[in-house]
Structure 1
Amino acid sequence: MSLSVEVETPRLVLRQWRAADREPFAALNGDPQVTEHLLPLTARESDALADRLAAGIDEHGWGFWAVEAPGVAPFIGFVGIKPLAPILPFAPGVEIGWRLARAYWGRGYASEAAQAALRVGFDQVGLDEIVAFTVAANLRSRAVMDRLGMKADPGLFDHPAVPVGSPLRAHVLYRIGRDDWRKPGAGDGNLDGAVVAAA
């Protein structure tokens, strides 16, 4: 199903990527605190990732949107949903992910945007389930997934894109179904400052 979606929340706009987003995105991806649990990216690799995410939005009408905070900053990172990479052992499906610049942690932006992205996935796209995954040691992101109302699968999986022997290879998988998301109180926790890897 294709949509033409630009998502607005009380404080944020989730939108298609712009050329001006590349420089702050590369800076975000060069911040060791933001990328503590991610494979490092060069500026060129960061630009290529932005191009892939933009192409995914063009294709589907939804994806990992660039996030703007009007009156605060024209670009603070990305939040959204996108199809899983085929190499993942639990593909096909759709993942939710987010990555915000450190300067915008602590303001509740991730919570606001992630809930909007889930709403698009379940109410507009019609998905039955959305998953998230992160490095097993990334306790901050795992807590975020809990607050979204997601539940962890037992055990771990090795991310096939991460080199064997890397401490970032072991990942945990979380899920939330549409029926659980609709339950009163589901996902009402405050998501903030989380970093979830994008494939």
Structure 2
Amino acid sequence: MNDLENGDVGRQSGELKPLPLGVKGLAGWLVLVQIGLYLTMITLLVQIFRVNLPAFEPDTWGVLTSKDSELYHALWRPIIVFEGAYNIAFLLFCIFILVMFYTRKSILPKLMIIFYGASLAVGIIDTILVYQIPLAREMETGSSFTDIIRSAITCAIWIPYFLKSERVQNTFIK
């Protein structure tokens, strides 16, 4: 009779052997999550330095927000501020998530769900606001809608993963 038949689960030849806990650790599909977070940070930094900060320079700001300008629209000011503030806040949020990720905090799955959901929601809100400005609508190449679809697909994949994954449960929850 072997050890399993006589009820000694986890024992072999009289030695106590720990039972496996299943998949655990920052490997597997979580590697893609890590890569995505780092790529998001790089993208946000590029966006901040190439788009957001230049929009606050006096010449650009004046052309878009001065009522005397041909390019003026009342929504330019709140959109520029909203996008700049969001990009900076989201960059800081990515850093916070990575700290929680590598310290394996139990709040990480909730943070990732917020991360993906907020990214989709802000993308939709930003697109709706930008489309209210005729000049911005004319310059749109369809990339905003592509970004929204990409974000929705990302949510459809990763939110269930963080809710149901055995690796996520074993790494961050247990």
**TM-score if structure 2 supplies the norm length?**
0.33
Report which of the two has the higher share of strand: 1
Query: Which of the two has higher C-alpha Rg?
Result: 2
Q: Greater relative contact order: 1 or 2 (C-alpha under 8 angstroms, separation 6 or more)?
A: 2
**TM-score if structure 1 supplies the norm length?**
0.30
